[in-house]
Amino acid sequence: MVAARSRLWLCFLLFLVALLEARGVPVGITYVRNAIARGAVCLDGSLPAYHFDKGFSTGINNWLVHIEGGGWCNNVTTCLARKNTRLGSSKQMAKEIAFSGILGNRQRYNPDLYNWNRIKVRYCDGASFTGDIEAVNLATNLHFRGARVWLAVMEDLLSKGMENAENAILSGCSAGGLTTIVHCDGFRALLPKGARVKCLSDAGYFINAKDVSGALHIESFFNQVVATHGSAKHLPRPCTSIYRPGLCFFPQYIARQMQTPLFILNAAYDSWQIKNILAPGVAGCKLDINNCSPSQLKVMQDFRLEFMYALARLGSSSSRGLFVDSCYAHCQSETQETWLWGDSPKLAKTSIAKAVGDWFFDRKPFQKIDCPYPCNPTCHNRIFDSKEHPNL
């Protein structure tokens, strides 16, 4: 009895050690001190910021620049609402954050990227780093300067060694994933010609779809974001030369003209898109897909088909990576449990971390799209019934 209890405690302690290791060490904040001189500031006029964990050993000339997510503000009212939060002011940001998942520094939990220079760029402009309006309304003190913030941060990182990059990834989650797509080719242009440079968009493939009422809610919202922030001149020109600027906030119109290799990591039933694009303001099962009725699931299955169509419009490309699972999730690269863990989501028996690593280093192409919900037992959002998918 005593021996059994001892073994149980030992297993528990080993689990705690592994969990603490996976969470990583806190990384301090860095402010871009010279940004104010060029007007590169957050919504409230404060300094841009990022967190930087330096590379070591064989990763010293490799760079991962990961962009924080956090939605957008589409008018003065919504921008004021976030101005005095961490999404609008570096004064409100945590001085330290823990790096895990794609940002982790343990080889066991992040085998391809653990010893790279790993940066998390804080998001404080509300328009995926595209805004650029010189005038500041004295009544609101709102600064729409995201594009300047982007350039100031990139130049600061170049001066700290990124100009010598041999391998580099620009990645981001949610609004940061959209930032990745918008700025991918520009990021590549900043780095040495001989460097291997690719981009990873996590939960950033927002589609232009009607909501359940038939309204183009998200298209109208993105039009307002672009107009409020003066974003048009900083959206990719290959897109704006064909489409109006508001449409060039949607990856399905931007990515087809991209030159830099892109990996799209997304849930086909992206929980943010279900809640905010498909059913904004609508009550129901969108907080927990397991509670959906058959008719509600039919609406979600139709959304998945729209998502698949928006992906298909990109055309085929051997340089593109795809990991589109059937999980009800949003952002899967930043948390250890979904990036690489014992029960992390898998496609073709491959974790997200391995799929991205194989694709980046050209070890093996990865373009996998999951079967429809509820078929994947590795998703964290459902109870798996083996009868539904006997081959897994």
Active-site positions?
174, 270, 330
Q: 191-222 burial, b for 16+ CB within 10 Å, e for fewer?
A: beeebebbbbbbbbbbbbbebbeeeebbbebb
Polymer length of the chain = 392
Beta 367-369 vs 350-351: how paired, if at all? unpaired
Partnered with residue 322 across adjacent β-strands are 264, 367
- Site of tokens 């079967």: 371
How far is 348 from 352, CA to CA, in rounded Å? 11
Tokens of 166: 């041999």
Choose among 327, 191, 215, 321: nearest CA to 272: 327
Choose among 205, 321, 210: nearest CA to 269: 205
Q: Do residues 336 and 109 make contact, with C-beta atoms less than 8 angstroms apart?
A: yes
